[in-house]
Structure 1
Amino acid sequence: MNLFEELANNPGITKALPEAVADTLLMVGVSGFFTLLIGLPLGIFLHTSAPGGLRPMPVTNRILSDIIVNITRSIPFAILMVILIPFSRMVTGSSIGPLAACVPLSIGTIPFFARLVETALRDVSGGKIDAALVMGSTRMQVIRKVLMPESLPGLVAALTTTLVTLVGYSAMAGIIGGGGLGRLAYNYGVQRFDTAVMVVTIVIIVAIVQIIQLAGDFAARRVDHRSAAGNRPRRPVTAAAPAAAPAAAVPAGEELRDDARA
């Protein structure tokens, strides 16, 4: 009971914690939206423009994949946030706060999500794509009606992984000035040696990650038509009624004897 009273009287939990949770959800939500909005077309383009894709563009694909995407993914997020401070100030008008942190969060996770999208699209069977092309489908129709529906479970899983990564990135952004649970843990847990706030913050971050993961796994199972067909209950097979036994054939000689007796 003393523990609950201590938590209830702690200003870091009663006053700062609700605002920190709201800031974290804001950063994850806004960054996740722009990551999906830009990263999904980017991943589709990386797949279709690769050698052997629907529209091979080797030079453009090499520049976009090896230079832009790979270099951006290679930069640690903490350094990326510092580098993008002038750009964040130009876009949002401020270099601190949750909205300013959404800029480096989005730029840092867009290439990561695009790679996951490319991997999910690569798992689609080439036979289905060839069959759609033979039947006269355009490239856009193949993307909309073959690639996207067939890779939808993988895309949902990719988005789930990206959102979980954003939760961790948002905690790092809070230390640099982005706000949220990361700033709360640093200000109270590290600078003030408040172990209770640190433990509560970790528990909330773990809970957010678990909720995102469970929701993503559930959505991936719902959109997977293969698992839906496999888990569909089968009708019980009823045994066929036994056929009536055929009448015994009577030899011709027996029929003649019966007629003679009559």
Structure 2
Amino acid sequence: MTSLPRAVLEARHVHRTYGTGPAALTDVSAEFRAGSLTAVMGPSGSGKSTLLHLLSGLDDADHGEIRLGETALGDLDEDARAELRHQRMGFVFQGFNLLPGLTGLENIRLPLRLGRRPATADPQWETYLIDLLDIADALDRSPTQLSGGQQQRIAIARALLHRPDVVFADEPTGSLDVATGRNVLGLFSSLVREHGICMVMVTHDPVAASMCDRVLVLRDGTIEHDLATTAPEDLARLLIGHVNA
């Protein structure tokens, strides 16, 4: 029997409430494995952003546990969690979050200069990312001189340069046209499968979700559906229902 890839990230019976309102998340448990691309979907207020913040250690659960490998995020103080994010997590945002005063290459390498232990890039891995993402002509230019697709590919290279255990993407195609968005998602899929990266992506886009290995749909702070995209009939019904919700 073929064993499953290792679980890189786990949420165990996580609960989170803000103030006196209803729970943002209630008893949510999920595993995210190496070499997998997971889409997190759901209507506004369903708990998507809360889950992403808890998984990345940007927020604390009221109850339950988040583990990155053998590390329980709740056991770390803020400084240690920030260092963990710097060393073992990557982030891709809808708004790209590039610094206009730096070149494309300087933006890519910026995270290596941060944290307690500044690092240097692996030249072979850096060259591989630049070639795969087709950004060689963007390295010496300011982000303001680049298209949205080029900016997003620079942001992807930045997120992956330090070879993180897990990459979080928050609406990564939301600012892109359809063709460019699909190209970016194809790059995500290639990187995940070829290099065993674990990626968790929040999206409202059914097309983006259909290109993932798995779709988690949240509603009212709980996981309503957990489907592999290898079940096309179930997935089609799910995505049609999501669009019409």
Give the TM-score, by structure 2 length: 0.24
Q: Which has the higher helix share?
A: 1
Q: Which has the larger radius of gyration?
A: 1
Instruction: Determine which structure has greater relative contact order: mean sequence separation of CA pairs < 8 Å that are 6+ residues apart, divided by chain length.
Output: 2
Q: Which has the higher strand share?
A: 2
